[in-house]
Amino acid sequence: MVYEYPASGPTPLKGVAQPVKLDGARTTAQRLPPRLGEQAREVLKEAGYSEAEILGLEEMGVVRAASMAEHS
């Protein structure tokens, strides 16, 4: 079961549809899932990485922050 998110950008974003039906109808997505790299900085900060370490990882291409991922 594939769900295509409405207005997700120039390239359609597809995901797994909700497998559960309530009252005979499938629920729809309330919001888009995060894009590639959208939460990378927050996750790394929570894991204890400093801003300098995160920047270093981005410069080496190990991590793609959302702003960098959108331009590739």
Residue 69 has pLDDT above 50, yes or no: no
**How many structural domains are present in the chain?**
2
**Domain identity same for 38 and 72:** yes
Domain of residue 15, residue span = 1-33
Place of tokens 């702003």: 67
More reliable by pLDDT, 66 or 12:
12
Taking phi over 0 as left and psi of -120 to 50 as alpha, with beta for the rest, 7 belongs to left
The model's confidence at residue 51, banded by pLDDT at 50, 70 and 90, is very high
**Domain identity same for 40 and 60:** yes
Q: pLDDT tens-digit profile of 10-34?
A: 777 888 877 777 777 767 667 777 8
| Six token digits for residue 26 | 């499938």
**Domain identity same for 12 and 42:** no
Quote the pLDDT of residue 52.
95
Give this prediction's pTM: 0.57
**Domain identity same for 29 and 52:** no
Quote the pLDDT of residue 15.
80
Residues 6+ apart with CB under 8 A from 62: none
